């Protein structure tokens, strides 16, 4: 068996052993329910409070503005449905603006809101996947209540100009949400600098556990709860808290932000070598996404005249884990909505492969991937 080379960190990341260590007591002896008044309950409550403080600190927010959820998907759903429905009930309007390249956690939530009678504008992007502030400004209507644009794209890694976009929304008094799920480990999450009112995160994208997320909601932003029950999370998200998961999320977020500079430098070195090597050796390769404004670990290519799925199978046979785009749409035969929105022709978009490097990758692994990829594509184009 050849060594496994994991280049799919945008899909999920391995759990950091330090995070696991922080979580273990809450999966074993410290099993209390944070709502219980006895000692075990109080211990769990304290862990929850401390985790909230840590997350708030990283986001430059206050603990009351942090809502723990079951995933990035739930955070996105709560942000969009929660704000849209609350403002609609206040008679404020029914128009939402998002972009054509969002994750399906946002796009399908918008589809659902449309079925309920909301109107949705999906902004176009340029060839790099960038949303332009003037395009946003033109789409704003008197009845617009919410704008949701992702911080960094999960397929091509393009980083959106969030402070500029949020400023446009605020000029018209409109709330701004960003899906920062892919940005969690790599970019600053300071909500004041970003100027956002709501921000979604997911622990498993920055070496935390799967199944736990965060929604930051600025004080004063109206939000209709989507989960009803025991009134946890200040009544905004009922359900007994996933204490171990939340402790894991907070630990992973703290470590990710403390170690961000070194981590990004490590990823950049490997990612840039991968990009240069692919462009050098494979003439049919074209890099997607912005050349500079992109996540430091992302290399996304289309290989012309070959099918991305077949490349992935060939790589997998050699122990290399990459992805065709987002893990959630992997297996679907449709070309990626992100690439189509960027103007990539459908037949080219079918040759998409995303490599996302991470902490444990080495320069030797990158050289091995370059060798194997070159051979796989050569064999496919000859066949
Ligand atoms: N938003 C983006 C940009 C993502 O990349 C993902 C996951 O791939 C999600 C939302 C969903 O997060 P989760 O897997 O925690 O539901």
Which residue has the least CA distance to atom 13 on ligand 1?
A: 72
Confidence of residue 6 (pLDDT cuts 50, 70, 90): very high
Entry pTM? 0.97
Mean of the pLDDT values across residues 124-146? 98
Confidence of residue 105 (pLDDT cuts 50, 70, 90): very high
Mean of the pLDDT values across residues 30-57? 98
Mean of the pLDDT values across residues 68-75? 98
pLDDT value at 330 more than 70: no
Which pLDDT score is estimated for 382? 77
Sign, Cα dihedral of 168, 136, 125, 76: positive
Query: Is 328 annotated as catalytic?
Result: yes
Which pLDDT score is estimated for 231? 97
Tell me how far the alpha carbon of residue 151 lies from the centroid of ligand 1, in angstroms. 12
Q: Which atom of ligand 1 is nearest to the CA of 154?
A: 5
pLDDT value at 38 more than 70: yes
Contact, 183 vs 72, CB < 8 A? no
Contact, 317 vs 310, CB < 8 A? no
Confidence of residue 164 (pLDDT cuts 50, 70, 90): very high
pLDDT value at 334 more than 90: no
Which pLDDT score is estimated for 333? 66
Task: For a ligand 1 pocket test, name from 10, 79, 184, 205 the mutation site with the most ligand atoms within 8 angstroms of its C-beta.
Answer: 205
Q: What is the 3-state secondary structure (H, E, C) of the chain?
A: CCCCEECECCCCCCCCHHHHHHHHHHHCCCCCCCCCCCHHHHHHHHHHHHHHHHHHHHHCCCHHHEEEECCHHHHHHHHHHHHHHHHHHCCCCCEEEEECCCCHHHHHHHHHHHHCCCEEEEECCCCCCCCCHHHHHHHCCCCEEEEECCCECCCCCEECCHHHHHHHHHHCCCEEEEECCCCCCCCCCCHHHHCCCEEEEEHHHCCCCCCCEEEEECCCCCCCCCCCCCCCHHHCCCCCCCHHHHHHHHHHHHHHHHCHHHHHHHHHHHHHHHHHHHHHHCCCEEECCCCCCECCCEEEEEECCCCHHHHHHHHHHCCEECECCCHHHCCCCCCCHHHHHCCCCHHHHCCEEEEECCCCCCHHHHHHHHHHHHHHHHHHHHC
pLDDT value at 328 more than 60: no
Mean of the pLDDT values across residues 347-373? 96
pLDDT in tens, 212-242: 999 999 999 999 999 999 999 999 999 999 9
Tokens for 216? Answer: 């930051």
pLDDT value at 348 more than 90: yes
pLDDT in tens, 249-284: 999 999 999 999 999 999 999 999 999 999 999 999
Tell me how far the alpha carbon of residue 48 lies from the centroid of ligand 1, in angstroms. 23
Tell me how far the alpha carbon of residue 142 lies from the centroid of ligand 1, in angstroms. 31
Residues touching ligand 1 (Cβ under 6 Å) are 71-73, 76, 103, 105, 150, 154, 179, 181-182, 202, 213, 326, 328
Mean of the pLDDT values across residues 54-65? 98
Tokens for 169? Answer: 């929304």
Mean of the pLDDT values across residues 123-147? 98
Q: How many other CB atoms are there within 10 angstroms of residue 235's CB atom?
A: 12
Which residue has the least CA distance to atom 12 on ligand 1?
A: 72
Q: What value does the mean pLDDT of the chain take?
A: 96
Tell me how far the alpha carbon of residue 200 lies from the centroid of ligand 1, in angstroms. 9
Mean of the pLDDT values across residues 126-146? 98
Which residue has the least CA distance to atom 4 on ligand 1?
A: 181
Mean of the pLDDT values across residues 183-202? 97
Which pLDDT score is estimated for 30? 97
Which residue has the least CA distance to atom 5 on ligand 1?
A: 154
Contact, 212 vs 71, CB < 8 A? yes
Q: Which of 110, 267, 302, 328 is catalytic?
A: 328
């Amino acid at each position: 068996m050849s060594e496994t080379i994991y280049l799919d960190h945008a899909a999920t990341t391995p759990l950091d052993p330090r995070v696991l260590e922080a979580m273990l007591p809450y999966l074993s002896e410290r099993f209390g329910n944070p709502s219980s008044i006895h000692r075990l309950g109080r211990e769990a409550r304290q862990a929850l409070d401390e985790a909230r403080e840590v997350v708030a600190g990283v986001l430059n927010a206050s603990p009351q503005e942090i809502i723990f959820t079951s995933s990035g998907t739930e955070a996105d759903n709560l942000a969009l449905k929660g704000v849209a429905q609350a403002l609609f009930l206040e008679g404020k309007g029914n128009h939402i603006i998002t972009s054509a390249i969002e994750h399906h956690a946002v796009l399908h939530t918008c589809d659902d809101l449309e079925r309920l009678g909301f109107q949705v504008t999906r902004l176009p992007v340029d060839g790099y996947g960038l949303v332009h502030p003037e395009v946003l400004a033109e789409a704003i209507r008197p009845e617009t209540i919410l704008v949701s644009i992702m911080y960094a794209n999960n397929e091509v890694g393009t980083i959106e100009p969030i402070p500029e976009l949020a400023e446009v929304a605020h000029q018209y008094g409109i709330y701004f949400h960003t899906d920062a799920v892919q940005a969690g480990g790599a970019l600053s999450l300071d909500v004041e600098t970003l100027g956002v009112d709501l921000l979604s995160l997911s622990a498993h994208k920055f070496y935390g556990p799967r199944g736990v997320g965060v929604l930051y909601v600025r004080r004063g932003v109206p939000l209709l709860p989507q989960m009803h029950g025991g009134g946890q999370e200040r009544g905004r998200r009922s359900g007994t808290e996933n204490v171990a998961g939340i402790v894991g999320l907070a630990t992973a977020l703290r470590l990710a932000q403390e170690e961000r500079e070194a981590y990004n430098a490590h990823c950049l070195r490997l990612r840039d070598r991968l990009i240069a090597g692919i462009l050098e050796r494979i003439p049919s390769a074209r890099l997607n996404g912005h050349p500079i404004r992109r996540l430091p670990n992302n290399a996304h290519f289309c290989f012309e005249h070959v099918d991305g799925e077949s490349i992935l199978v060939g790589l997998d046979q050699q122990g290399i884990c990459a992805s065709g785009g987002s893990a959630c749409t992997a297996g679907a035969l449709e070309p990626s909505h992100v690439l189509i929105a960027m103007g990539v022709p459908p037949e080219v978009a079918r040759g998409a492969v995303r490599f996302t490097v991470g902490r444990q990758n080495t320069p030797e692994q990158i050289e091995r991937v370059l060798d194997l990829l070159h051979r796989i594509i050569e064999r496919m184009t000859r066949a």
